[in-house]
Amino acid sequence: MNREEKKQATRTKLLQAAIDLFAEQGYEATTVAQITDKAGVAKGTFFNYFCNKENVLAELKTKLTVDEARRLLEQPGPIAPQLEALVLQLTEHLRGPRPLTLAVFQGIIGTSSALDIQNEQIADMRDALVPMFETGQGRGEFVKELPPAGMADLAVQTFFGALLLWGMGHGDDCLETHMRKSFQPFFQFIST
């Protein structure tokens, strides 16, 4: 195994340990030390890969989005309901108290290195969504006046904007309902 493969293997172990611990005891109760212990690496190793615990959660969310967007593209049927299902699935994985959601955003924008990582993850999410909008346009589901990349940008902005505002205490108390209401105008805007 070369150096890059070892680095990727360590990153994967850290992510899997975080997933397991978040599922077992919740995000807030999980510490960086627990993640590194479960992954079998030194605590300092964590910071070679992630700025903070919030960054791990953001990366997990992005990976889920990218993987699910690719999977949905292979499914038959209209794209809009599949995209809405993706948004609601992400929302389910992000369910937690509003202060936790706000803390994740604070962790993301807290340092320039965390922000750089988040910007890469947003680009990955956007790039995974573009083919969905291209397919939807090809099927006549979405307007042709807006390029697929523009639709992907709007979807990402709608998602993160709705999530941030919800974390700040705005909108419906139920995150799922809040997301549905936030995306309704988006789908109306892009649909034919």
Task: Give the tens place of pLDDT for each residue, 83-111.
Answer: 888 888 777 766 677 877 777 777 667 66
Name 149's Cβ contacts closer than 8 Å, sequence gap at least 6: 126, 130, 133
Give which of 122, 94, 104 is closest to 179, Cα–Cα.
94
Report how far residue 192's alpha carbon sits from residue 190's, in angstroms, rounded to the nearest whole number.
7
Give which of 53, 149, 136, 135 is closest to 100, Cα–Cα.
53
Domain ranges of the chain: 1-49, 52-190
Per CATH, 1-49 and 52-190 having the same topology is answered: no
> Dihedral sign, CA of 119, 45, 64, 91?
negative
CATH class of 52-190: mainly alpha
Per-residue pLDDT tens digits for 165-186: 998 999 999 989 999 999 999 9
Regarding the domain delimited by 1-49, which CATH topology (the fold level of the hierarchy) does it fall under?
Arc Repressor Mutant, subunit A (1.10.10)
Task: Determine contact, residues 109/115, Cβ cutoff 8 Å.
Answer: yes
- Residue 35: predicted pLDDT: 94
